[in-house]
């Protein structure tokens, strides 16, 4: 074959190949795109339910052997200082008049008068006080037909080395009658010397001075012209006081909120035992004899109350007075009296799953009279308080005890989820079985869906003859992802975990720090890419 023939064949084959490639590429462009699916395992939620979730972070205490106990501490104010000393009294009533016909010039003093008023405080004999919040009502009636100026001084008061004083302009009387002025004066933070001339008690001194106003005209004043000035405490809350507070009995009742059982929604538990300590702290400078006539727990949902049955109820508890070591409350050394509450029905009070602690009591102050020679004292931030500390070993049996906890789902499929299922992996280290359900919540925490048709049972951990956990139980639960459930998971992220807890054969078991339920939800899903 000659060279020219070879070249011609090469050119022919080249163009045949080029045409074939062009036809192939053109055919590829006309085909439909290929769909690719991707199978993935996607972590959606990880949560651990432990003893602290059941009873609260601040209520569960770990012992040296890692066993747990529940400590419920409630403080009750058994003697409110504001009820011991209540002051509503008139400080001064001054009626001024001139017994002669006299002419007074502008700015000329009409009269000045000092007044000592002994306030009616019953059996109390106060020598000093400090006002926390105090307001004085100042009433002036003027029959003189020119304006006046009045200066009121509370000589018994002191603040930063000065007594309280105030100037007030009083309008003139008119042809229709006298003028009336009412002013409110604030005395917050003033110290009050209540000894009058230095030898009295409950006595306050004041001084009132009246002038013709500097801007008035000269005026003739007759004996029929009068100025009536009344000053009275409208409000007086004392921060500190000293003296003799008398021998008085106060009745009190109240309640204190308990939040430790908020996660328990139904069911019951039975405790092996429960004890309590009652500590009474007296921050006042007076002896107090307490008598508690009632101590009870109350469950508002059940409208049920259980009374404590123990000798401390109805017993007279004598609490000595505090010691004052300086000028501030922080310098007061309270007297502390402690009482143990054992061998009682306290376990029944706890098993009620209460939301409040109720009490009734009486307090007799100074049962032996004025033994301090007028040196009782009281700071009104602190009176007599009782602290009830309940110690409950977490050894109990549970009967369908329903508990709740909240968690968050991390489900963001960008709208590409095709199908799949959720796998719920559980590791139970509690010596208790749980029937569990997961509820999807809307933004207002209303239930919109659940993961299971019926609550699956998660078996308790494996325990030995003494009730100690020797191995956890594990279980995997499968949840089909229906289109409705996918839509809910795309829209909402909050989830409610609700479990019913039961003890095997009502066996009472001790809880330990290591006991928990570990929950992991993984999506075994197919995405469309």
422 & 380 share domain: no
Whether residue 156 contacts residue 163, with contact meaning beta carbons closer than 8 Å, is answered with: yes
Length of the chain: 529
252 & 384 share domain: yes
189 & 233 share domain: yes
CATH number at residue 224: 2.60.120
62 & 91 share domain: no
Single residue among 393, 413, 448 that ends a domain in this structure: 393
Residue 14 belongs to some domain of the structure? no
Q: Is the dihedral of CA 279, 284, 288, 294 positive or negative?
A: negative
User: Residue 455 has what pLDDT?
Assistant: 92
120 & 214 share domain: yes
Cβ-Cβ contacts under 8 Å for 468 (sequence gap 6 or more) = none
Q: Determine the straight-line distance between the first and last CA of the chain, rounded to whole angstroms.
A: 57
* Beta bridge mates, 140: 181, 229
Whether residue 37 contacts residue 528, with contact meaning beta carbons closer than 8 Å, is answered with: yes
Rounded Cα distance between 444 and 494, Å, is 10
Residue 422 belongs to some domain of the structure? yes
Nearest to 286 by CA among 344, 373, 360, 348: 373
* Beta bridge mates, 523: 42, 422
Number of structural domains the chain divides into: 3
Residue 26 belongs to some domain of the structure? no
Question: Which pair of structure tokens corresponds to residue 244?
Answer: 């003799």
Single residue among 221, 244, 267 that ends a domain in this structure: 244
* Beta bridge mates, 124: none
Nearest to 78 by CA among 339, 296, 354, 359: 359
Rounded Cα distance between 48 and 405, Å, is 10
* Beta bridge mates, 112: 209
Q: Is the dihedral of CA 481, 483, 484, 486 positive or negative?
A: positive
Residue 388 belongs to some domain of the structure? yes
Q: Judging by DSSP bridges, how do beta strands 162-170 and 264-271 pair with one another? A: unpaired
Whether residue 180 contacts residue 148, with contact meaning beta carbons closer than 8 Å, is answered with: no
Question: Tokens 């009658």 correspond to what residue?
Answer: 177
Domain limits for position 424: 39-66+397-528
User: Residue 29 has what pLDDT?
Assistant: 42
232 & 289 share domain: no
Single residue among 224, 244, 264 that ends a domain in this structure: 244
CA 483 to chain centre: 44
Question: Which pair of structure tokens corresponds to residue 516?
Answer: 């928990």
472 & 489 share domain: yes
CA 359 to chain centre: 19
Residue 281 belongs to some domain of the structure? yes
184 & 293 share domain: no
122-149 per-position pLDDT tens digit: 888 999 999 888 888 889 999 999 999 9
Rounded Cα distance between 478 and 475, Å, is 10
Burial of 357 by CB count in 10 Å (0-12 exposed, 13-18 middle, 19+ buried)? buried
Rounded Cα distance between 86 and 12, Å, is 121
Whether residue 527 contacts residue 37, with contact meaning beta carbons closer than 8 Å, is answered with: yes
498 & 524 share domain: yes
Rounded Cα distance between 387 and 281, Å, is 8
Residue 21 belongs to some domain of the structure? no
Whether residue 281 contacts residue 268, with contact meaning beta carbons closer than 8 Å, is answered with: no
Whether residue 140 contacts residue 229, with contact meaning beta carbons closer than 8 Å, is answered with: yes
User: Which segments within 457-515 are labelled E, that is strand?
Assistant: 457-458, 462-463, 469-471, 473-480, 494-502, 509-510
DSSP SS3 for 382: coil
Whether residue 78 contacts residue 280, with contact meaning beta carbons closer than 8 Å, is answered with: yes
Residue 31 belongs to some domain of the structure? no
Rounded Cα distance between 352 and 466, Å, is 28
388 & 404 share domain: no
Question: How many Cα neighbours within 13 Å face the side chain of 495?
Answer: 24
Which portions of the chain are predicted below pLDDT 50? 3-38
* Beta bridge mates, 384: 79, 282
314 & 407 share domain: no
286 & 373 share domain: yes
The DSSP result for 297-365, as a single string, is EEETTTTEEEE--STTTT-EEEEPPPEE-SSSGGGEE-EEEEEEE-SSSHHHHHHT--SEEEEEEEEEE
Q: Determine if residue 122 is left, alpha or beta; phi over 0 gives left, psi from -120 to 50 gives alpha, anything else beta.
A: left
Residue 106 belongs to some domain of the structure? yes
Whether residue 255 contacts residue 358, with contact meaning beta carbons closer than 8 Å, is answered with: yes
Whether residue 402 contacts residue 498, with contact meaning beta carbons closer than 8 Å, is answered with: yes
Rounded Cα distance between 426 and 423, Å, is 10
CA 518 to chain centre: 32
Nearest to 411 by CA among 497, 521, 489, 528: 489
Rounded Cα distance between 387 and 312, Å, is 14
Whether residue 430 contacts residue 467, with contact meaning beta carbons closer than 8 Å, is answered with: no
């Amino acid at each position: 074959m000659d060279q020219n023939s070879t070249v011609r064949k090469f050119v022919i084959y080249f163009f045949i190949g080029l045409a074939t490639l062009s036809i192939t590429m053109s055919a590829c462009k006309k085909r439909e795109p290929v769909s690719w699916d991707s199978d993935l395992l996607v972590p959606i939620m990880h949560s651990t339910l432990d003893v602290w979730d059941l009873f609260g972070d601040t209520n569960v205490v770990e012992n040296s052997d890692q066993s747990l106990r529940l400590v419920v501490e409630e403080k009750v104010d058994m003697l409110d200082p504001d009820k011991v000393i209540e002051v509503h009294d008139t400080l001064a009533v001054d009626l001024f008049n001139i017994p002669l016909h006299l002419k007074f010039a502008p700015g000329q003093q009409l009269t000045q008068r000092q007044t000592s008023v002994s306030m009616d405080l019953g059996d109390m004999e106060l020598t000093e006080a400090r006002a926390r919040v105090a307001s004085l009502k100042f009433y002036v009636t003027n029959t003189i037909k020119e304006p006046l100026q009045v200066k009121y001084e509370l000589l018994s008061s002191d603040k930063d080395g000065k007594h309280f004083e105030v100037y007030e302009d009083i309008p003139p009387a008119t042809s229709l009658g006298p003028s009336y002025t009412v002013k409110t004066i604030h005395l917050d933070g003033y110290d009050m010397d209540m000894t009058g001339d230095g030898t009295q008690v409950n006595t306050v001194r004041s001084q009132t001075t009246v002038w013709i106003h500097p801007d008035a005209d000269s005026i003739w004043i007759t004996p029929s012209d009068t100025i009536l000035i009344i000053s009275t405490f409208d409000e007086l809350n004392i921060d500190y006081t000293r003296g003799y507070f008398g021998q008085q009995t106060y009745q009190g009742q109240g309640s204190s909120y308990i939040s430790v059982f908020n996660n328990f929604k139904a069911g019951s538990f039975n405790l092996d035992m429960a004890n309590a300590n009652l500590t009474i702290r007296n921050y006042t400078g007076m002896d107090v004899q307490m008598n508690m006539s009632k101590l009870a727990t109350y469950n508002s949902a059940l409208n049920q109350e259980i009374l404590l049955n123990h000798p401390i109820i109805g017993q007279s508890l004598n609490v000595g007075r505090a010691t004052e070591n300086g000028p501030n409350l922080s310098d007061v050394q309270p007297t502390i009296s402690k009482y143990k509450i054992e061998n009682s029905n306290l376990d029944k009070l706890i098993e009620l799953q209460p939301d409040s602690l109720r009490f009734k009591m009486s307090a007799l102050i100074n049962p032996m009279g004025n033994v301090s020679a007028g040196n009782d004292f009281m700071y009104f931030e602190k009176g007599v308080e009782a602290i009830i500390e309940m110690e409950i070993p977490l050894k109990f049996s549970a009967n369908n005890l329903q508990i709740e906890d909240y968690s968050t789902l991390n489900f963001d499929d960008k709208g590409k989820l095709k199908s799949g299922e959720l796998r719920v992996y559980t590791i139970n280290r509690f010596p208790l079985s749980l029937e569990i359900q997961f509820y999807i919540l809307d933004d207002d925490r209303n239930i919109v869906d659940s993961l299971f048709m019926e609550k699956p049972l998660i078996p308790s951990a494996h325990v030995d003859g003494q009730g100690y956990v020797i191995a956890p139980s594990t279980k995997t639960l499968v949840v089909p992802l229906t289109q409705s459930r996918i839509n809910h998971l795309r829209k909402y992220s909050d989830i409610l975990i609700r479990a019913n807890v039961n003890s095997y054969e009502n066996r009472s078991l001790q809880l330990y720090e290591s006991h928990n339920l570990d929950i992991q939800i993984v999506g075994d899903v197919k995405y469309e890419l």
